[in-house]
Structure 1
Amino acid sequence: MKNKLLIIGASGHGKVVADIALGMGNWDTVAFLDDNPAVTSSLGLEVIGSSEDIESLINDHDFFVGIGDNIIRKKVYEKLENLGASIPVLVHPSAIVGREVTIESGTVLMAGAIVNCSTRIGRGCIVNTGATVDHDNSIGDYVHVSPGVHLAGTVSVGDESWIGLGSKIKNNLSITSKVTVGAGGVVIENLTHSGVYVGIPVRRI
């Protein structure tokens, strides 16, 4: 772990990530990299360069991908990983994490998130504001669990899935990779095919 943190992406999600990092107090400085040259600061923090500057800064900084889109976040994360970057886990001070929880690098738990015991969360995930992930869940890599989502016990969510705002997933279910559950969706059966699911209960469209 370094004493300086760079967040890639200075837009909305990046700002929330920066706010969490500042609240954790683990770094002497927090700044951004962003590919929009018109953006020079965000949340009162300086934008010191673009993604082209990652390699020259790799030895002196921790890096975190502050990009909400799962596919883009994965691409940038893998670039950092291949360069040997130090990538932390960010946990908001108000988040609750149970015993025997494993959280992989590049994942952020936002304000009010709850992750209960014996759960694994993969790389580069977002567990957003007020989301709850109950016991014995398995969350794959680059998953976005949106604000207000509730996952019951023993739920499995595959890589690169996006669980939409306020969705609910019944216990003992499996969701395959690259699934999008629309806002407010209720999942009561296994989702075995990638795609977009909406409704109460959800159906594939």
Structure 2
Amino acid sequence: MFKNEMMKRRGIIIKKLLIIGSGGHGRCCLDIARDMNIYDQIAFLDDNHVHETINGCDVIGTVDEMSSYYPEYSDIFIAVGNNKLRKKLSMQAKEIGYYCPSLISPDSYISRYANINEGTVVFPHSVIEANANIGEGCIISSNVTINHDAVIEDYCLIYCSTVIRPNTLIGSLAIIGNNCTIISGSKIKACSDIRDGSVIEPSDKYSFEVGV
């Protein structure tokens, strides 16, 4: 606290991040946020671990207290694996006034021509190629490859070691399991749950629903 006060007096901007969720996913997001080396202070909100310290990071309150920490914390990251709940909490945070940054591991490869929208996390050793478009609030797990011109809509979860081939379209809130291959030109409908190891081709019956 003393250090923060001295920095304020000297006109130094203290950059703070609030992470919602201190479970396994939240702890991994904390690692990525630290690796990015842009935040001076990071704290958790979590209903189950209030006033605990997890991986060197304090749990300062509950999720329902989100509004109480704005604008002391202007940046917030929703580290919740459930797609629908992640979307709900993201909407609440934005209404309060928070900015939802993306957390992108320095050990991932992102083309300068790819687009990643806010609130998305990209784990280590993922590859996102030229002109791929990643929506808001997505989880791109480790060793995922998203080829050029693929579109991932908002609040999707792509598990480890999956390959999304060129010119595919993944509908919002979809879950793509581990070690899947989504063949070029395939369209996955919103809210789909694709099991581990699946190979999806354009001829498969996954009609696409826009914006669900």
Aligned to 2:30: 18
- Confirm whether residue 28 of structure 1 aligns to residue 28 of structure 2: no
Check the 8 A contact 2:133/2:151 in 1, yes or no.
yes
Aligned to 2:137: 124
| Segments of 4+ moved more than 6 angstroms | none
Aligned to 1:150: 163
5+ long unaligned stretches in structure 2: 1-12
Aligned to 1:111: 124
Aligned residues: 194
Give the TM-score of the pair, scaled to structure 1.
Answer: 0.90
> Secondary structure at 1:88's aligned position in 2?
coil
Query: Once structures 1 and 2 are overlaid, which stretch shifts more, 77-86 or 17-26?
Result: 77-86
Deviation at 1:132, TM superposition (A): 0.6
Deviation at 1:68, TM superposition (A): 0.8
Structure with greater strand percent: 1
The partner residue of 1:138 within 137, 143, 151 is 151
Give the direction of change, closer, same or farther, for the CA distance of 1:134–1:2 in structure 2 (3 Å limit).
Answer: farther
Deviation string for 1:108-142 (max 9, x for gaps)? Answer: 00011110000111110000011010000111000
The partner residue of 1:53 within 65, 72, 81 is 65
- Confirm whether residue 173 of structure 1 aligns to residue 186 of structure 2: yes
Check the 8 A contact 1:11/1:42 in 2, yes or no.
no
RMSD of aligned alpha carbons: 1.6
Give the TM-score of the pair, scaled to structure 2.
Answer: 0.87
Deviation at 1:99, TM superposition (A): 2.7
Q: Which amino acid aligns with 1:63?
A: I
Deviation at 1:57, TM superposition (A): 1.0
Deviation at 1:177, TM superposition (A): 0.5
Alpha-carbon distance between aligned partners in 2 of 1:144 and 1:2, rounded to the nearest angstrom: 31
5+ long unaligned stretches in structure 1: 195-205
Aligned to 1:93: 106
Aligned to 2:80: 67
- Confirm whether residue 192 of structure 1 aligns to residue 207 of structure 2: yes
Deviation string for 1:163-189 (max 9, x for gaps)? Answer: 001111101111110111001111012
Q: Which amino acid aligns with 1:153?
A: P
Between the aligned residues of both structures, percent identity stands at 30
